């Protein structure tokens, strides 16, 4: 369907018109319904964000996940780097000794 300037202007005043709607995504542009994905429970059977905004949002979500995953890997490698087997054993001995000590003093029953 051809969207004329007049239709577009009047549609802007009523965002949920029959020819399209204002995108609720990043672009905020008025776009015809054909630029929106179909969504059964959405307004007028369409998504509130245009296809462009949805694909952008998906990309940024993916990159966020990737970054998060990288961060987690970095933290994990740092922890493993610090907590070598020897250090873990040392720590375990210290904890065990402290517990035995506390038991001896009758602080732990
Ligand atoms: Zn958009």
Q: What is the pLDDT of residues 48-66, one digit of tens each?
A: 999 999 999 999 988 888 8
CA distance 106 to 63: 55
80 has pLDDT over 80: no
pTM higher than 0.85 for the full model? no
Q: Ligand 1 center to residue 83 CA distance, Å?
A: 48
Distance 51 CA to ligand 1 centre (A): 7
pLDDT tens, position by position, 4-16: 555 555 444 455 5
Q: Give the chain's domain count.
A: 1
Ion ligand 1 — residues with CB < 5 Å = 23, 25, 27, 50, 53
Q: Is 19 a domain residue?
A: yes
Question: Which of 7-21, 24-38, 52-66, 93-107 has the least mean pLDDT?
Answer: 7-21
Q: How far is the CA of 57 from the centre of ligand 1 (A)?
A: 10
Rounded alpha-carbon distances, angstroms, from residue 71 to 65, 78, 79: 10, 11, 12
pLDDT at 88: 77
- CA end-to-end span of the chain: 81
Between the CA of 43 and the centroid of ligand 1 the distance, in Å, is 15
**13 DSSP 8-state letter:** H
Domain limits for position 39: 1-82
Q: What is the mean pLDDT of the chain?
A: 81
């Amino acid at each position: 369907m051809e969207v004329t300037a007049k239709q577009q202007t009047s549609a802007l005043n009523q965002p949920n018109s029959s020819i399209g709607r204002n995108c609720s995504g990043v672009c905020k542009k008025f776009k015809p319904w054909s630029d929106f994905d179909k969504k059964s429970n959405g307004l007028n059977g369409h998504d509130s964000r245009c296809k462009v905004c949805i694909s952008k949002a998906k990309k940024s979500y993916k990159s966020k996940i990737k970054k998060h995953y990288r961060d987690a890997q970095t933290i994990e490698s740092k922890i493993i780097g610090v907590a070598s087997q020897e250090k873990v054993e040392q720590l375990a001995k210290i904890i065990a000794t402290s517990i035995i000590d506390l038991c001896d003093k009758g602080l732990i029953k």
